[in-house]
Structure 1
Amino acid sequence: MIRRWYSRQGARASSLSVALVGRSCATKPPQPTVPQAGEVSAEEVDRIVAALEKSESLMEDVVSHMQPSARRRLVVAGGTLEWFGKEHVAREVAAADSDKDHVISPKDFDHWFANALKRKDGAEAAVEGGTAAAASSDPRGVVGPVPLAALFVIALEAGLPFVGFGFLDNATMILAGDFIDRSLGFYLGCSVMASAAMGNVVSGVMGMQVHGLVEKAVQRLGLKMPVLTEEQQKGRRVFLAGHLGGTLGIMLGLTLGMMPLLFIKNDEAAKSDIAAFQKWDRDNSGFLEVAEIVQGLKEVGFQVNPEAIERVVAEYSSTHKLNIDQFRELCSDLRRHKHAHVHLTTA
């Protein structure tokens, strides 16, 4: 009985809900569109604008907490709205991002601002001169061939950072590679190419640390970049000018970076002494004993008196064992014929 009562009550509730839904669908007015996730409704926009207009400090706080790229995008949009009208905002924001990486860099913003200011002044001059039709035309400016002088400045601006980068990269690689070859490379038994490769690693790390500093230094030179329209920026002549400038810049920088080679002494004798020490040190102890020296001389075709070698070694080390520095000193003295009493005869 209880089960039948619950069944009747459930049926009545179901019928009532269907009737109410049908009635609400027939009489309820359409609801306003609810903004999706990430969107802001018109009412929220009005509240935000009212709050910003009411408090100057709030506006300063909001702008100061924005990401630099977003802040530059806001300035581009506001400047376009003020100078050219709302219908040009989307196009100007897209044009400001000249490299199409969805980020308006400081360089992009500077170029857009100079370009927009020039177009604004030209439009105002056209209005004052009575040519309102020209002022109301497309604010992107007149498209024409880029002068050679402007192309030269573009190539220079593109090439100068690569001159500095190429110089630092090559010079650091050479200096670090030479230092590694003379120090760490000796203990690790590295070849010259391996030392150069490790020097290249140091150069790459150094390049990451000074990333952007070269471009900032070039910007301080105050080169007056030509103001180009969007069509001119996309032109082949402008692309080739920047590409050629960068190529010549990196070539010049890498060439100048080889200057340390003029001051590095290529001591072949020292390299041969180190190679001999590494080869004769059979037990890898870091020291050469008299027997190892005698055996090494025999391998290269010389016969010597072990007692004479022992007396010579005793002049450089009281332990009768030579480290690398003592061995190099001995070899240097032998080249100057300091130990003339030691006779080396071929086997």
Structure 2
Amino acid sequence: MFKVTVCGAAGGIGQPLSLLLKLNTDITHLALYDIVNAPGVAADLSHINTPAKVTAHLKDAELPNALADADLVIIPAGVPRKPGMTRDDLFKINAGIIRGLAQAAAVNCPKAFMLIISNPVNSTVPIVAEVFKAHGVYDPRRIFGVTTLDVVRASRFVADIKSSVDPISTRVPIVGGHSGPTIVPLLSQIQPPVELTTEEIKALTQRIQYGGDEVVKAKDGAGSATLSMAQAGARFAQAVISASVRGTTGIVEPSFVALTADPKNGPAVQGQVDGLAHFAVPVELGKNGVEKIHPIGPLSDYEKELLSVAVKDLKSNIQKGVDFVANL
């Protein structure tokens, strides 16, 4: 038995994400929570002939049932930025939503794997961590910021300029965070190796860091990256499920995690990133979540510059999340 709960299941990311999860035969119960439209999404998905039972949970009153005994919780919930709304306004609203969901999860499924999609991930993951700490149930191995979309984009974008590259099998490590300059693509470490010119590296880095802007522009202000984010979220969920349920070993995916999740290898990374508490780094997954944090590895001079900029921004991003919980 494996229960997955999606918080924000009726939204732009939540609906396609829930569809992809319903197709996953490792999942036996898919619980869909939202403040509107959850019953309709659940009814629609329940007609798909895969094993997962689908249940709908509407508004705060039904949130405890949605989360009860969940093995994995995915949170894409939040509101889009509206005209006249500042980024700080948006942060306060979404941070409040994430805090409330984290509080409910800490009570109803404290040992669940928590996959945080809601932006800004650099701040929302520390919010979840601080809430779990306050409830005495914090396990850094089980809380993940989903940065997989950056990884997916990187593989696709490299293939766009190198026709010989297979976007499915090509892996581009992404470290740092999950917004603009905090996203650090390690193009020098592509596997299998790909020869890139200095100009190609700079152009690819810019595109990977700000790929989301392409989607916003193409949707003419009517939305952001929802379908690709849903696929990326489902991919990371499957990685966690494969490692924890199937016992598959050797699964490595970048994710924004607490570096204390691996007491053996985490401190070495912290030493490279000025002691940051959270950082996106290649993570080897196991039955309890983070099994091993992999080193950042050798960096080119250009990547070192990118990392320095990312660390400065991440310090304030992380602290903003911590302060939001502390100042309640």
TM range (shorter): under 0.3
Larger Rg: 1
TM-score of the aligned structures, taking structure 1 as reference length? 0.23
Which one has a larger percent helix, Structure 1 or Structure 2?
A: 1
TM-score of the aligned structures, taking structure 2 as reference length? 0.24
Which one has a larger percent strand, Structure 1 or Structure 2?
A: 2
Q: Which has the higher contact order (CA 8 A, sep 6+)?
A: 2
